[in-house]
Amino acid sequence: MDNDGTLRDIFSPCIGIYKREYDPQCTLTAADIKNYDMRQYFPKLPLDKDGLPDIETVFFTEHAEEVFQDALPYEVEVAEILAQIRQDFNAETYLVTLQKRGNEKYTLNWLENYNIHLDGIMLITYDEKNCTKNKDIIRGEVALDDYIRNLEDYAKVGTIPVCFDRPWNQDWSGKRVKSLYGFYLLLQDLKRK
């Protein structure tokens, strides 16, 4: 399963940083972000080498600890639901997340802070030289993610893709859940079949 946009809310801290440091009059909320590429929502950020708002530097480098370690989970009972999935389905749970190199410690601290226990963590890191961002290198029976490209890639390798409902993935026509508990219920349905 994915972390950012699925278990962990990184969008609210990004908006908070933006309002605090770049645009105090901004009225943007996480619900307003309808595109996975969120640069368009932060027009007052410094620009990157391509002339686009530099979310990589501002949010994922300069404020990485606040964005990744201090972020809240979408659901307060995330640890309990994941434990229930492991118990009820005798399933192994793995986190597969894409992180800018150097930010892994913030994700590990976040998991520890919220007492989230998994069978494994696959941190796919990237930087300017290494841009491999394919999560489908991990195989499993079911994958939960909020990014359509990842879901499509999982389907290509025989994994059942489940979309975690977000405003930016409304074009996904496959299985969809609105919460981690909804994912638990979907797993129950899949088990019965």
Residues 20 and 87 in one domain: no
Rounded CA-CA distance 158/152 in Å is 10
pTM of the model: 0.91
Q: How many domains does the chain have?
A: 2
Which domain-ending residue is among 48, 69, 90?
69
- How high is the pLDDT of residue 139? 75
Please state whether beta strands 120-126 and 142-145 pair in parallel, antiparallel, or not at all (unpaired): unpaired
Which domain-ending residue is among 53, 69, 85?
69
Q: Is residue 48 part of a domain?
A: yes
pLDDT tens-digit profile of 62-94? 999 999 999 999 999 999 999 999 999 988 999
Q: Is residue 99 part of a domain?
A: yes
Residues 19 and 90 in one domain: no
Residues 165 and 81 in one domain: yes
Residues 154 and 60 in one domain: no
Segments forming the whole domain that contains residue 25: 8-69
Residues 54 and 86 in one domain: no
pLDDT tens-digit profile of 154-166? 999 999 999 999 9
Q: Is residue 3 part of a domain?
A: no
Contact 48, 57 (CB under 8 A): yes
Residue 123 has pLDDT above 70, yes or no: yes
**Confidence band of 193 (pLDDT split at 50, 70, 90):** confident
Residues 173 and 85 in one domain: yes
Residues 97 and 58 in one domain: no
Phi, psi of 175 (to 5 degrees): -60, 145
Residues 174 and 88 in one domain: yes
Q: Is residue 42 part of a domain?
A: yes
CA–CA distances in Å: residue 131 to residues 100, 112, 142: 10, 27, 25
Residues 14 and 83 in one domain: no
Total count of residues recorded for the chain: 193
